[in-house]
A = this chain, B = another copy of it.
Amino acid sequence: MSQKDPLVVFTPSGRRGRFPVGTPVLQAARSLGVDIDSVCGGRGICGRCQVLVSEGEFPKHGLTSKLDHLTPFGKVEEDYCVTQPLVDGRRLSCSAQVLGDVVIDVPSSSQVHKQVVRKEAEAHDVELDPLIRLHYVEVQQPDMHDPSGDLRRLEDALEFEWRLTDLACDVIVLQQLQKALRAGHWKVTVAVHAGHQIVAVWPGFKEKVFGLAVDIGSTTIAAHLCDLASGEVVASAGLMNPQIRFGEDLMSRVSYVMMNPGGEKEMTTAVREALNTLAHEVAAQAGITPQDILEATFVGNPIMHHLLLGIDPTELGGAPFALATDRAITLWAVEIDFAIHRNARIYVLPCIAGHVGADTAGVLLAERPDLTDKMTLLVDVGTNAEIVLGNNQRLLACSSPTGPAFEGAQISCGQRAAPGAIERVRIDPTTLEPRFKVIGSDLWSDEPGFDAAVAGSGVTGVCGSGIIEALAEMYLAGIIRHDGTIDGALAARSPRIQEDGRTFSYELYKATEEARPLKIMQNDVRAIQLGKAALYAGVRLLMERLNITTVDRIRLAGAFGSHIDVKYAMVLGMIPDCKLSGVSSAGNAAGTGARIALLNQRSRKDIEALVRRVEKIETAVEPRFQEFFVEAMAIPHLTAPFDELRKEVTLPERTMSSTDAGQRGRRPSRRDPKPVQA
């Protein structure tokens, strides 16, 4: 290049260089290392390499950029526009050639490494860098004078056009290769996994392939279908985990396996069938076939993880809770009977410990507490709460047997979050009268039109977040004492407080002609107390190990964490005291982690390394856990002052019933494969 050659400046990278007249823009970009995508290798087919001319004077670059400093539309771009118009002045950079000084803008959609998982401000960015890449190539035809296999000539083309070397090839590709080459007139698109394995081949140009990120929960399985070229979620679906018929919670499923030889195979089959149903559903939503899904990632708790992989989970049902493996696993779809593309690769995130699963690895990957110096608490509440605490110095993890109370199970009026369920509760501390909202309506129960709004669903129960609010409001109104007992003395003040054998209950919703009354019983309070004490005790254990008394941030992951009002969770003492502004929902962080692992290959190495660094604490063998548990039975806590909370909420004076709360605490255990709070 000489000083007389046109100057080309790329934005936003700022890279610049002089190129002879007639240089294709894509070629100029590549020689400068500017990030522009391409699947077809500059043949004007894929449309991935679109750019824009920025017109005008650019004094800082010392040039004037004009539209006609690129060649006008040629045949290639015209042909391309027949199927998909180039909008807003976009050009195919592989076709447009440099005629004069020009500033070229590369929009984010044309970048290979675009940012795709960008969440709220405090979360980190994830750049698109999937393991599966499509490459369109023209392959030399066989020549009897220089015989060579079709695969070798395909590999030569991939090396020549895409600098891919040392490629391996799945045998199923070999079975399809010769027909694909001939059907595509020696032009094919191949999918290459991790830059070294040819996993699929199609005749001609194949525009898109997809990946699936799956979160296997004990209750629900959720899947997100992503376009591997854009990173976008193009379809989502969820369904109930069919293993529920073998047991509502994890431990009863393990118990089923222990009591029914071969039971693990039934459950493995059940979950795999559900996955195939899901894959079909998301594929149908997106208008593709499951064969277009070339990659899938999975998160799930250790028992779901083992059952997915066909590993008997019995060892996870009793001490010492040994995982079969705490490594990440890569395998073929066919190995787990997953009827997506026959050669699709499956990546299962690593489990961390016997009760801290690949779902927590997903949360870690989504949240990356190791990238900040803020002391961060991550909590994923389920039948077992999985807890991570730490920052860029250290990370600790444990799980705590919270039981199913937070999910509304074992609560007399509990139900799943569905229309008709009470989800918000307020109690007037003077009258002790409640008002509430139910799922399906935005109206409070004391607002006009409420009855009409809920006429369809009725008021049928209280969901997890409703229970938390009900109990917290009962505590704030003085109905529940510091030790968790419902104060029977208040029965004199309000008919809502009702004697119920030797204990008292609070009537949240009065019976109607159609519906039963909804009451908070003393046993309901106890179930929540047991769960929240276990959760708090697990957190305290980690805090003690780190020698800290406060945390900077609390992130609540999972469905439960998304719906509860964090203030009420803190009033009950589920989580330690913290500035309320530092407490937030992390949404379905485990699923987000699966999506990150799907879209960014480096993230897999990151999470594998991170998981190894995590210090695993088994609460079952920590003598202090029992002590912390007993103290945490009180509301919000026997001793912790909760000063930050008091800045926002006026807590009642501490009052105790005749029996100390601590004596009611029973150490929770996982040795018994049945739910501990039975």
Contacts and interface: CB of A to CB of B under 8 A. Distances in A.
Contact of A151 (B148, B151, B327): B327
Nearest to A316: B178
A314 B324 CA distance: 46
A310 B152 CA distance: 18
Interface in A150-170: 150-152, 169
A177 interface: yes
B326 A171 contact: no
Contact of A147 (B142, B143, B145, B618): B618
A178 B313 CA distance: 10
A389 B319 CA distance: 67
Given A144-B621, A618-B145, A621-B144, A150 B310 contact: no
Interface in A119-154: 141-152
A152 B353 contact: no
Contacts of A144: 319-321, 618, 620-621
A325 B150 contact: yes
A334 to B, nearest CB: 9
A179 interface: yes
Contacts of A147: 320-323, 326, 353-354, 616, 618
Contact of A326 (B143, B152, B309, B351): B152
Interface string A309-347: 111101100011111111101010001100000000000
A209 B322 CA distance: 29
A174 interface: yes
Which of A152, A324, A329 counts the most B-chain CB atoms under 10 A from its CB? A324
A83 interface: no
A659 interface: no
A28 to B, nearest CB: 37
Interface in A611-637: 616, 618, 620-621
A3 interface: no
Which of A179, A309, A311, A353 counts the most B-chain CB atoms under 10 A from its CB? A311
A549 interface: no
Contact of A310 (B171, B178, B312, B326): B171
B171 A309 contact: yes
A151 to B, nearest CB: 4
A2 interface: no
A175 interface: yes
B174 A324 contact: yes
A639 to B, nearest CB: 27
A242 B149 CA distance: 27
Contact of A179 (B310, B312, B320, B331): B312
Contact of A323 (B150, B321, B335): B150
Contact of A145 (B145, B178, B309, B621): B621
Contacts of A178: 311-312, 314-315, 322, 324
Given A179-B312, A312-B179, A325 B174 contact: yes
A177 B320 contact: no
A174 B308 CA distance: 12
A143 B353 CA distance: 11
A112 to B, nearest CB: 29
A118 to B, nearest CB: 34
Nearest to A330: B168
Given A144-B321, A178-B311, A321-B144, A329 B171 contact: yes
Contacts of A327: 149, 151-152, 169
A225 to B, nearest CB: 24
B149 A323 contact: yes
Nearest to A145: B621
Given A144-B319, A171-B331, A174-B325, 20 more contacts: A145-B621, A147-B320, A147-B322, A147-B326, A149-B327, A149-B351, A150-B322, A150-B323, A150-B325, A151-B324, A152-B326, A171-B310, A171-B336, A174-B309, A174-B311, A178-B311, A178-B312, A178-B314, A178-B322, A179-B312
Shortest beta-carbon contacts, A-B, top 10 = A149-B326, A142-B322, A151-B325, A149-B323, A149-B325, A147-B353, A144-B618, A142-B320, A144-B320, A147-B616
30 contacts: A142-B321, A144-B319, A144-B620, A144-B621, A145-B618, A147-B321, A147-B322, A147-B326, A149-B323, A149-B325, A149-B351, A150-B315, A150-B323, A151-B324, A152-B325, A152-B326, A171-B335, A171-B336, A174-B309, A174-B311, A174-B325, A174-B329, A175-B309, A175-B310, A175-B311, A175-B312, A177-B324, A178-B312, A178-B314, A178-B324
